[in-house]
Structure formats: structure tokens, C-alpha cells
Structure 1
């Protein structure tokens, strides 16, 4: 069986193209999404910061970071999350004035 250089080159180019397509599909994927939410309340005193998940995530969520560094996903539609968020925002405003 004789392998021609052109065939080998064409085969390598096809493999490289397919690999770049597979890698390129996840370029804009969010780094962190919430797929499940923590079921219990977290005391506001132990929350050091919060961040919203990106719009590309399948469902919206809030990520609370505790004083000890644990990151917990919470449902933004939950009443306790909204109350905690309001308290944290008030504390930020009060500490900046």
C-alpha cells in the first residue's frame, strides 16, 4: 500500500480542522453556572460577597461566597435570597458613605 504525500497532508489538515472546531465551540461558555440551588438559608453575617451567574447559563442564579471561602448557589427568585441581597446591598451603601 502506497501512501501519497498529498493524501497524508490532506488527512492531517482535515484532522486539525476538526480539532479546532471542537475546541472553538466552548470559547464563550460561562465559567460557572448554577445547576442546583442550596436548599437552606445562609445567614447574611457569613456572606462576604455575591455574584450573579452569566446570561449564557441555562438558569439564572446567585453565587454567595462565605467568610470561609465556600461558594454556594442560590435561587434568585427565593424570598430569603432577595432579603439577604437587599441587606448586603444596604450594608455596602452604608459602609461607603
Structure 2
């Protein structure tokens, strides 16, 4: 009887361990779940980068002059203007 209990405990432990390991799979690091609601001046932004394709929402992360990341909707006109302006500066 004890052998079957030990075997059952080992199987249960292996099942729990495999679920924990699966949750730590490699995934996107920076995703935007909420966007900054207000317009920002271009002078406050030093760079930007797009979120990973695996994120649930497509977003752009604007990096402020003080290196704070700010999530923004890339479809808004003011965000597009900042991105174009920063692209032109980098050329």
C-alpha cells in the first residue's frame, strides 16, 4: 500500500513541476496592456521601439528623456508624428 502512495505522490509532483516549468516559457518581455491617454510633446521623447508581435495589443513604447517607458497606440496621429520625427533624426 505504501508503494502505491509513494508512486502516486511522485506522479503528482511531476505533473505540478511540469506545469510550473511551462509557465516560465520564453515570451515577450515588453507588452502594452494600457496606452497613455494624453498627447505628449516630441521634445520629451528620445527614442521608441515597437512591442513584440506576440503581445496581445500592438503598441509602441516611447522612451522619455529620463528613460521612462511609456506605452502608446501606434495608430494615433501624434504617435505617428513622433515616430516619423525620430526616424528622420536618426538618418
What band does the TM-score fall into relative to the shorter chain? 0.7 to 0.9
**Aligned counterpart, 2:52:** 54
Output the aligned Cα RMSD. 1.8
**Aligned counterpart, 1:39:** 37
| Consecutive aligned runs of 4 or more in structure 1 exceeding 3 Å deviation | none
Between Structure 1 and Structure 2, how many residues are aligned?
Answer: 91
Pick the structure with greater CA Rg.
1
Q: Pairwise mapping of residues 64-79 of structure 1 onto structure 2 (< 5 A)?
A: 64-79=62-77
What stretches of structure 2 of length at least 5 have no aligned partner? none
The more displaced of 42-51 and 18-27 is: 18-27
Q: 2 CA distance for matches of 1:61 and 1:51?
A: 9
Q: Pairwise mapping of residues 15-30 of structure 1 onto structure 2 (< 5 A)?
A: 15-30=13-28
Q: 2 CA distance for matches of 1:30 and 1:23?
A: 16
